[in-house]
Structure 1
Amino acid sequence: MSEINQAPDSGTASGVPADQRQWAMFAHLSAIVGALLTSGVGGWGTFLGPLIIWLVKKETMPFVDDQAKEALNFNITVAIVFFALWVLVFITLGIGFLIAIPAWCVVGIAWLVFAIIAAVKANDGISYRYPFTLRLVK
């Protein structure tokens, strides 16, 4: 039997340590937990988790800094879309529900799918960029 020389394990092939990958995954998943515990998709609970993780870990974990900002920006963008749809409903005196309800369903499902994809990618040590996201927090 021959021994194979291996380099020290850095967490994954991406080189991101396991603890940073885990915290980055938590940043993405905390939005889902926030939606379940508070006002649903588009509410304040969806960006509270990523915000807290970003504020606590941004100085010590660069990968978490990047991914928590990404999750925060995406959830703020979704909240803006939901708010704009509510404005449409009020401006049209309720007729906007014909557009808003299907749009809320589509955006909500897309939000859930993208959040899960981002969590899986972050756990693999890959920087994920959400589509259609306003980069408000830099």
Structure 2
Amino acid sequence: MSQPDEKMWSTLIHLGGLFFGFLAPLIGYLLFKDRGPFVRAHSATALNFQLTLIIAYIVGAILFVFVIGIFIMLAAYVLNIVFCIIAAIKANRGEWYQYPLTIKFLS
């Protein structure tokens, strides 16, 4: 895969995570993991971040009975928007990016 294609798909994977949750990074990882190191790294880090967000949403839902759950879910929502946009910009520029506050499931 050419470098512009890797940058484009990496950007789309990050933006897909913003709109479709973990499905876009999962599909991107499964389809493009053997196509190039750049797109593999970005799809893996996007998938790791989306899986971490799922855990945050579950914890927030469990703690929703208490007031703290609302804030956890709101924080996860805002972090998803901010970090996915930052990651998409970095991927479009051809830069490597790691989401902060992420549990590393895939490498």
Same fold (TM > 0.5): yes
Match of 2:95 among 101, 107, 126: 126
Which residue in 1 is equivalent to 2:70? 101
Give the distance between the partners of 2:60 and 2:81, measured in 1 at CA: 18
* TM-score when normalising by structure 2: 0.93
The match for 2:4 is 18
Residue by residue over 1:75-108, the C-alpha shift from the partner in whole angstroms, topping out at 9 and shown as x without a partner, is: 000110110122223xxxx2x1x11112221221
Q: RMSD in angstroms over aligned alpha carbons? A: 1.2
TM superposition outliers: structure 1 runs of 4+ over 2 Å: none
Work out the CA distance in 1 between the residues paired with 2:61 and 2:76: 14
Aligned length, in residue pairs: 106
Q: Which has the larger radius of gyration?
A: 1
1:111 aligns with 2:47: no
Output one character per residue of 1:17-37: Cα deviation in whole Å (capped at 9) or x when no partner: 111000110110111221xxx
What is residue 46 of structure 2 aligned with on the other side? 71
Answer 1 or 2: which has greater helix percent.
2
The one-letter code of the counterpart of 1:125 is G
The gaps in structure 2 that reach 5 residues or longer are none
SS of the equivalent of 2:22 reads helix
* 1:46-61 equivalent positions in 2, closer than 5 A: 46-61=21-36
Letter in 1 for 2:54: A
Matched residue type, 1:110: L
